[in-house]
Amino acid sequence: MLEQWTLVADFTHHAHTASLSAVAVNSRFVVTGSKDETIHIYDMKKKIEHGALVHHSGTITCLKFYGNRHLISGAEDGLICIWDAKKWECLKSIKAHKGQVTFLSIHPSGKLALSVGTDKTLRTWNLVEGRSAFIKNIKQNAHIVEWSPRGEQYVVIIQNKIDIYQLDTASISGTITNEKRISSVKFLSESVLAVAGDEEVIRFFDCDSLVCLCEFKAHENRVKDMFSFEIPEQHVIVTASSDGFIKMWKLEQDKKVPPSLLCEVNTKARLTCLGVWLDKVPDTKESFPPAAEPSPVSKEQSKIGKKEPGDTVYKEEKQSKPNTKKRSLAGDSKKATKESGLVSTKKRKMVEMLEKKRKKKKIKIMQ
């Protein structure tokens, strides 16, 4: 008999002035990004808002934790920012894309990251040395990139198309086409990929054979986001939809068998993104590898930079003189910018109020 779970609202906070666009979770904190250009931090152990990060200009498009020490954010301003998740300081701000940063993914080793943007490029980042490694012209704007659990392959999503790349060759090993535009993908294993899009159905694909293993109707409206996690004797996938429902499903060992519904809750809200915080789960990934180590990514970089017919692959141009000094993403920044640190909720609201007054005065003067 299938065990029944119950979903209960435990912590609710209206912090952003616009809709949420991204969420990330580590063993203690939940961070949310919004169209209001801010990142908010919540301490889930204490169930309180911890503060806000204000550095980006434009919608926050992606947030990723690596362990308990680092957070990486991307936004419409084209910047990727690396944050110290203990002191909540901006360690490094990189002009990553000529257009918007649409998505980023960190390799399980913490040594590499991939990002995609509206400049039609896939970019590889060396996180050991804190610099760009390679840029690949993919001719279209990708909106999702995701590493597999072991980091041996990654997928790049363009509309309803999934290109599967192998790390050792940096070439496409296969392509999967979904029926509708894809909104979220999650690796359930090294070779099985869950795919959700602008439809009610979720599909499981085999990345080796490119075959659809199974599909099931998950919601009454489009599926916006998914998250999977494992606990003893359970592998669970969580789904969120525009219909307002959050659902939890128990995955079978045989992925050809559709999952069983564990529980559901109607939030009565138009859901945009989803994260899962698991209490008392130790996070073994503490920090990025130290910069003192010889770069372990040179082999992978040379392969990722391999040219394919019809693709433009080129090394990142050298930065201008003031920025040529190497800096590790794992080190603390000695130049903390005025707008890069933690801002208290009270101070942020005061700043917003003063800004509104300033705009009103400006309108009156113009009249």
pLDDT single digits (tens) 59-96: 999 999 998 999 999 999 999 999 999 999 999 999 99
pLDDT given for residue 294 in this prediction:
36
Q: What average pLDDT does the segment 116-143 reach?
A: 92
Average the pLDDT over each of 109-118, 207-216, 260-269, 350-359 and give the range with the smallest value: 350-359
pLDDT given for residue 52 in this prediction:
94
pLDDT given for residue 4 in this prediction:
75
Res 335 pLDDT > 50? no
pLDDT given for residue 300 in this prediction:
45
Res 206 pLDDT > 90? yes
Q: Report residue 108's pLDDT band, with 50, 70 and 90 as the boundaries.
A: very high
Q: Report residue 9's pLDDT band, with 50, 70 and 90 as the boundaries.
A: confident
Average the pLDDT over each of 97-101, 129-133, 172-176 and give the range with the smallest value: 129-133
82 neighbors 91 (Cβ within 8 angstroms): yes
Query: Measured in Å, how far apart are the chain's first and last C-alpha atoms?
Result: 71
Q: What average pLDDT does the segment 119-142 reach?
A: 92
Q: Using CB atoms within 10 Å of the CB of residue 254, give its burial: 0 to 12 exposed, 13 to 18 middle, 19+ buried.
A: exposed
Mean pLDDT of the chain: 83
Res 30 pLDDT > 60? yes
CB pairs under 8 A, 24+ apart, for 181-184? 182/144, 182/157, 183/222, 183/223, 183/224, 183/225, 184/144, 184/223, 184/224, 184/225, 184/226
Q: What average pLDDT does the segment 212-224 reach?
A: 96
Encode pLDDT of 151-184 as tens digits: 999 999 999 999 999 999 889 999 999 999 999 9
pLDDT given for residue 332 in this prediction:
40
Residues present in the chain in total: 367
Q: What CA–CA distance (Å, rounded) separates 275 from 292?
A: 33
What is the residue whose two structure tokens read 């794992």? 330
Q: Using CB atoms within 10 Å of the CB of residue 197, give its burial: 0 to 12 exposed, 13 to 18 middle, 19+ buried.
A: buried
Sequence spans of domains, the chain: 20-220
Q: What percent of the chain has pLDDT over 70?
A: 75
Res 360 pLDDT > 60? no
Q: What CA–CA distance (Å, rounded) separates 317 from 64?
A: 26
Handedness of CA 230, 228, 6, 259 (dihedral sign): negative
Res 208 pLDDT > 50? yes
89 neighbors 129 (Cβ within 8 angstroms): no
Distances (CA, A) of 133 to 16, 105, 118: 35, 15, 19
pLDDT given for residue 331 in this prediction:
39
pLDDT given for residue 96 in this prediction:
94
**pTM of the complete model:** 0.80
Look at 291 and 190; give whichever has higher pLDDT.
190
**CATH no., domain 20-220:** 2.130.10.10
